[in-house]
Amino acid sequence: MSKFSEKGFSRWSKEEKINWLLKKFLKDREYGRTLLKKYSHPNSEVQSLHEEFSENTLTNFYLPFGIAPGFLINGREYALPMVIEESSVVAAAAKAAKFWKKRGGFKAQVRSVKKSGQVHFLINTSDEKLQKFFRDTLMPKLLQDTDKITTGMRARGGGILQISLKDKSKEIPYYFQIDALFDTCDAMGANFINSCLEQFAFTLKDELIKSDLFDAEEKFSFQVIMAILSNYTPDCLARAQVSCSLEVLTDKNEMSPQEFAEKFHKAVHIAQLDPYRAVTHNKGIMNGVDAVALATGNDFRALESNVHAYAAHSGRYMGLTRCEIRGNTFHFWLDLPLAVGTIGGLTSLHPMAAFSLEVLGRPSSQELMIILASSGLAQNFAALRSLVTTGIQKGHMKMHLLNILNQLGADEKEKTYFTYLFKDKIVSYQAVLVAWQAIKKNK
């Protein structure tokens, strides 16, 4: 038994945790210790800050921080910070941004900003009686009891927008919800929403006990199951779009603009019909969204679940972009539900998140929404453009060449040589390996 078993793992010192991990799970302990030390930040204050972001932190796991320049959005130029390990994403985003910058850039807008949360509870009474109690007694009290929580948010122009009671008893016996809509201004607002909802639950219980909702012969039965925000925000929506005349839709040496537009349109339509294609289609969109979200300290996991739920809101999972050819004009757009923040959380605590927001011009949350939507649209355009012309692997594997060479242990001179060697060739691991072995043999 470990000598540390008397106290929880989280209470061990970092050195104790490292010693335990290396002893119990690694054969080469020196290798492990060296690696953990190598990726710890040399500045102790910075490292301490990183460790407080999470639990049981031993070191840091670094991801590349890149920039996709040339994004023209609503007439303003942006350089998008992107944190992602997939080598082709930043290059594809930058290429799409350059393409559309020459054609008027991205037009984007926020269509709505509402977020929601629910108190889920069971109660043995009729909907009619409960609705009257809610309307006459409970709703004013919910607003009164959350007044102190919402003061700061209301001063910024946000707060609780709407509270309603939903009867869900046909789905689960006695199940009801208090459903609330919120405007959290420039904050993502999770803590604010959850604080309001938990107060709703306390108020609900107190007011029910004091009420005459139940007759004397009725047995009072009530239970709060949970009070929690929803990461599904179909009413917090941003649209990004691009358009141009068909004659400028393709560059030189590509297929004709008409053929390209028609193939592109069919590719988008296929993602509306086939869920196997739709998932990959939407994953490409989220490559662009997640990379900027990570760079700005936003919760990409919440964004992912939100967007994919929205993709299925019709009852069938579908691709999120739309395309139309109207007369001589090509139109391409998407709507994305995006609950993000530019204040609070990691957006100000993480130095690189704060830097990213500085690069973007300190955007409001609504401006960040349109930036994320534009990044997702650019990424999807770049992917579809490759798919309907040269194929995805040519560009993707070109970017992957350095990863292959690093796996093979190439030095800088060898990297330069192989980059030139594969300049006009399709890159595959096998092709690079054969060329590598031939060079080594000749040496």
**Backbone torsions φ then ψ of 80, nearest 5 degrees:** -90, 120
The catalytically annotated residue of 95, 120, 281, 396 is: 396
- Give the per-residue pLDDT at 314: 96
- Give the per-residue pLDDT at 390: 77
Q: Which positions ≥6 away from 12 have C-beta within 8 Å?
A: 4, 20
CA distance 275 to 410: 41
The catalytically annotated residue of 283, 308, 350, 425 is: 283
As given in the structure block, the two tokens for residue 420 are 């030139």
- Give the per-residue pLDDT at 353: 96
Residues in the chain: 443
- Give the per-residue pLDDT at 399: 62
Is residue 132 part of the annotated active site? The answer reads no
Taking the domain 115-229, which CATH number applies? 3.30.70.420
Is residue 413 part of the annotated active site? The answer reads no
Contact, 107 vs 74, CB < 8 A? yes
- Give the per-residue pLDDT at 394: 57
The catalytically annotated residue of 299, 367, 398, 400 is: 299
pLDDT tens sequence across 381-431: 999 999 999 765 555 555 667 778 888 888 888 888 887 777 777 777 788
CA distance 160 to 393: 49
- Give the per-residue pLDDT at 439: 79
- Give the per-residue pLDDT at 398: 59
Q: Which of 172, 153, 149 is nearest to 343 (CA)?
A: 153
Is residue 396 part of the annotated active site? The answer reads yes
Q: What is the DSSP letter of 138?
A: I
- Give the per-residue pLDDT at 395: 56
What are the C-alpha distances in Å from 333 to residues 113, 259, 376? 19, 19, 10
Is residue 50 part of the annotated active site? The answer reads no
The catalytically annotated residue of 86, 127, 304, 335 is: 86
* Residues of the chain under the 50 pLDDT cut: 1
Taking the domain 65-108+238-389, which CATH number applies? 3.90.770.10
Domain boundaries, the chain: 9-53, 65-108+238-389, 115-229, 396-442
- Give the per-residue pLDDT at 433: 83
- Give the per-residue pLDDT at 1: 42
- Give the per-residue pLDDT at 392: 59
Q: Could you give the maximum distance between any two Cα atoms of the chain, in Å?
A: 96
CA distance 194 to 227: 7
383 burial level (CB within 10 Å; 0-12, 13-18, 19+): buried
